[in-house]
Amino acid sequence: MPKTYDPTNIFARILRGEIPNKTVLETPHSLAFHDINPLAPVHVLVIPKGAYVDFDDFARNATDAEIVDFNRACAKVCEVTGCSPGEGYRAITNAGAHGMQEVPHYHLHILGGRVLGRMIARAD
């Protein structure tokens, strides 16, 4: 069952130029911009320009060209933010209710610029 994409989500509106963003870089199939509520000195979101809900939707349904472009854009963000080569970073994507995804357009968070702590809190 394909996931339904909501074209009114905020990242779709950014892609349509309806609301501004602080662009880090743009490629033919991807856009990277600063998170509006940064959780670390580096907090960049990388999104595909295509209408994909989350990571597995993108991995399953995007074209090879889109997937390569997206991954190369992520690598470029790591480079231009000084995270890699550098002291490192964390790349996170949230999906669905358990992932606590807020914006239903696939995005990868690239965080860095400080020690980020453990990956996830224990439930117990």
Q: In the complex, which residues of this chain contact ligand AMP (CB under 6 A)?
A: 10, 19, 21, 35-37, 45, 94, 100-103
Q: Please state the closest distance from residue 108 (CB atom) to ligand AMP, in A.
A: 9
**How many CA atoms lie less than 13 Å away from 8 in the CB half-sphere?**
0
Q: Please state the closest distance from residue 85 (CB atom) to ligand AMP, in A.
A: 26
Quote the CA–CA distance of 112 and 27 in Å, as a whole number.
Answer: 22
User: In the complex with ligand AMP, which residue's Cβ is closer, 59 or 65?
Assistant: 59
User: In the complex with ligand AMP, which residue's Cβ is closer, 65 or 113?
Assistant: 113
Q: Please state the closest distance from residue 90 (CB atom) to ligand AMP, in A.
A: 13
User: In the complex with ligand AMP, which residue's Cβ is closer, 95 or 124?
Assistant: 95
Q: How many residues are listed for the chain in this entry?
A: 124
Q: Which residues participate in catalysis according to the annotation?
A: 107
Looking up tokens 């994507």 gives 93
Paired with 34 in beta bridges are: 44
Quote the CA–CA distance of 73 and 28 in Å, as a whole number.
Answer: 10
